[in-house]
Structure formats: structure tokens, C-alpha cells
Chains A and B, each alone.
Chain A
Amino acid sequence: MQAVKMVITGPFNAGKTQFIRAVSEIDVVSTESKISSEAERIKDSTTVAMDFGRITIDDELVLYLFGTPGQRRFDFMWEILSEGMLGFIVMVDSSRPETFREARHILQVFRSYAPTPYVVAANKQDLSEAWGIDDLRIALKIDPQVKLLPCVSTDKEQVKRVILELLYSILEEMDLEEQS
């Protein structure tokens, strides 16, 4: 059985756990803990080590989805989780500009781990306070060639689209490598 993996990363409360939950065939294995910090108490619990989801592709292939912890104090896990990944998805909470700087930082750190393809998912686009895609691209300083995709992580179809776009990017990367 061959196993491949993708990493879902992003700031605290960007929607990573929900994203994996939307498509995983197993109940997502979450290492969540109650939030103690007053500043972060915008949800009851948060991922402290990782989230783990699985999609069986066929008898010989399985895709694992790993969600990283969103808080800086657990960032020692990022490098471990990124080892051997096919690519990664950076999730951004489109409605919370206070997390954009952190999202950019995480994006840069993951790019430095491995030169793998990635896409950025602009999550929570269903909220009235969500920034538009064009504004987010400028705010997050995302190159025009990098895919920035609108997303609502509770919507399975939108989650599938984000994962598919990352896979298409991986194929495009393979094409480029073959050509060179």
C-alpha cells in the first residue's frame, strides 16, 4: 500500500480541521485541547499537534491529510508534518485581517521546507466580513501564478475543488520538470 500526504496549514481558527473533516472518510483524528488563552477564545478547542484524515484511493493507494496546529507555540510540529508531502494548502480566514500576517509567515515557512506546489484557500467566504479574492491576493502578496481559491470549508464540494486544484498544480509542476 502506497501512502501519499498533503498538508493543510494556516493560522489559528482558519478552518483547517473542518476542511479535513469535510472530505475524510474516517472521523478526523484531532489532537485538540481546550483553549486557555483569553485572546484565542473565539472557539472552544484548537488543534495542538495535528489533525489527521484519510481518503482511500484504491487498493494500493491512500491519501493522508494532515492539518497543522495553528498556534505558534506548536510550530515545532510543522516541519515534522511537512516531511514528504506532495504539496500543501494554506488556509486563510478571509474575514480576519489580523491573521493575514501570520498566514504569510506560515506560507513562507512551508515554502522553505520543501519546494512543493501549494495553493491558498480563502476560507469563510460565506461571511459578510470576508475580504474579496482580489483584495486578499494583494493583502497577502500572493503571486498571480499562485492559485488563490475561494472556499467554505464546511462545503464538501468547495473543499474537493481546492484539493483538486492542488493536484492539478502538482501535475503542471511535473510537466514543467519533464520539459526541462
Chain B
Amino acid sequence: MALKGNLRDFSTTQLLNLINLARKTGCLTVRTPSDAARLYFRDGKLVHAHTASEDGHLTTMLVKAGKLSAEQCQKLATRPEAHNDTQLGLLLIHAGYVSRDDIIQSAKRHMLDIVYALFGWYEGQFEFVPDAVPSSDRIMVPINLESVIIEGSRRLQEHERLQDELPDLESHVLRFTSNADARLRAVNLTVEEWRVISFISPRNTIKMIAQANNMDDFQIRKIVYGLMQAGMIEAVRAPGQAAPPSLAGRKMSVEKPPAVKRSVIERLISRIKRI
């Protein structure tokens, strides 16, 4: 059976929960216009991951973890073992470059970085292909998904807090606070923060600013929230946007069903069987 959809409708948390509870084996691919990730699972455990930008090869993981230098990596690339992570791992251990634990921890760190980043993806087509496995030469380290889901959810809560602060990006614009000039001179802003600031205009909603800067909702919320906390900008409703109506909950009536005799149900069953 297919397991396809969009993260917009079925989140990373829900997907990992499903894979964990159903103890699935296979490959989950998630694609966005700007990125793609591929995660492999065995019996509900994450065993390997790579993205479009991070290939998941052993050398990449070890360089990222600071266990190998770029020069060492270049030298290794000429060895015949370089194309087989398992053989390369053994070579590196025997040559005393790294320990077995270094490899395991680097692989774990690499996979966790990818999977935690996925929690910040709110849109993207996903597909789970059952029983697909990574190529046999890849280093596979099983990671329990429970702890990943808990940590990912904690990070998600951070996003939700930001969402509470900035509920609707499409109907709000940014404007400078009255004393923003002085504050801007006093702080060091990142390139991303300057890019956001440069787009501030009553015509640009926060969503438009995000799109202009190729930022996702989480990234723009984090930057805007930071600038708001620093007292430089404030979010106001875009001109011509009415306040949303109150979402007062409707009172539900709880009513006992009418008394129906058992014989009535039995007659229904008998008749339905004969249709």
C-alpha cells in the first residue's frame, strides 16, 4: 500500500510516529522545491539518511564531525576503498585515523541533523517505499525513533510558540518602531536579518518577504520574532485586512440515542444481509 502525501497534511512527527509504531522497514523520501531528504528505516528504527546537499558518505560525516580534515579526505578519495564506506571505515580504524565509536557517533550526528531539520519542513511531498534499503556499502547505525520524536516535538513547540507570536504571515506587514534607528546602529545584525529589514514596506506582507528571501515560514518567524524582541520592528495588520472573527466554540448537545430494542437491530442485520 502506498504511503504518499504532503507534510502540510501529515507532519514529520506523524510520519515518524507511524513508522515507529508500525515497525516499518523502507525508505522515506521527502521533496521540497529547494531540498530533498531520504531516510531509511529498519523495523521502525532510523538507520541511514542523506539529503540533496549532504550525501551521507562516511567521509562527509567524518569531516562534518571534525574527525577528518578536508585534506585527509582528498587523499582518501584516491584509495580504492573510498567508494565503499564499510571498507573505508575499516581502513580508517586500522590506520588509527578514527575509532569505531567516532564512526558511530558521526553517523548518528549526521542522521539526527537531517531528521531534526525535517521537523522544520512544513510542506513537501513524501513517499514511503516499503522494504527499500540503502546500498550495502553504507554505514548504518540504528536510532530509536521515540527519542527523536520527543526532541523533534520539543523543537516543534518552539515553532508553535513563534506561530503564536506571529499567527498569520499573509495578513501582517512589518514596520519600524519609533526608535528603531538608534537600535539598528547599536546592534550587529546577521545577513538574513538585514535582508528581511531591507524588504520592510507597507506593501510587503511577512509572507512576501519570506518568499523574496527564499525563507520558509519557520526561518522568517525566527528572524522577525528576534527583531521584534529587540524592539526594532513590529508586526501590524496589512492595510485593508479585517480582524478575524471570534472563534467561539459552538455548544455541543449530548443526547442519548433513542431506546431501540435488540430485536430491531437483529431485523436490520437480517435484512441487510439479504440486499
> Do B272 and A55 have beta carbons less than 8 Å apart?
yes
* Residues of B with C-beta under 8 A to A139: 10, 14, 18
> Do A129 and B2 have beta carbons less than 8 Å apart?
yes
* Residues of A with C-beta under 8 A to B10: 97, 100, 139
B113, chain A: closest CB distance, angstroms: 26
A62, chain B: closest CB distance, angstroms: 10
With contacts A100-B10, A139-B10 known, is A83 near B255, CB below 8 A? yes
Q: How far is the CA of A156 from the CA of B273 in the complex (A)?
A: 11
> Do B273 and A86 have beta carbons less than 8 Å apart?
no
B264 interface neighbour in A4, A23, A156, Cβ under 8 Å = A4
* Residues of B with C-beta under 8 A to A109: 252
A-B contacts counted at CB < 8 A amount to 103
Q: How far is the CA of A99 from the CA of B81 in the complex (A)?
A: 49
Q: How far is the CA of A84 from the CA of B258 in the complex (A)?
A: 6
> Do B18 and A138 have beta carbons less than 8 Å apart?
yes
Count A interface residues, CB 8 Å: 45
Q: Which one, A13-21, A33-41, A162-170, is touching chain B?
A: A162-170
> Do A116 and B252 have beta carbons less than 8 Å apart?
no
> Do A85 and B272 have beta carbons less than 8 Å apart?
no
B22 interface neighbour in A85, A99, A135, Cβ under 8 Å = A135
> Do A86 and B257 have beta carbons less than 8 Å apart?
yes
A128 interface neighbour in B2, B265, B269, B272, Cβ under 8 Å = B2
> Do B17 and A164 have beta carbons less than 8 Å apart?
no
> Do B265 and A170 have beta carbons less than 8 Å apart?
yes
B94 at the interface (CB under 8 A from A): no
B100 at the interface (CB under 8 A from A): no
> Do B3 and A135 have beta carbons less than 8 Å apart?
yes
B262 at the interface (CB under 8 A from A): yes
> Do A61 and B5 have beta carbons less than 8 Å apart?
no
> Do B264 and A61 have beta carbons less than 8 Å apart?
yes
> Do A171 and B265 have beta carbons less than 8 Å apart?
yes
B8 at the interface (CB under 8 A from A): yes
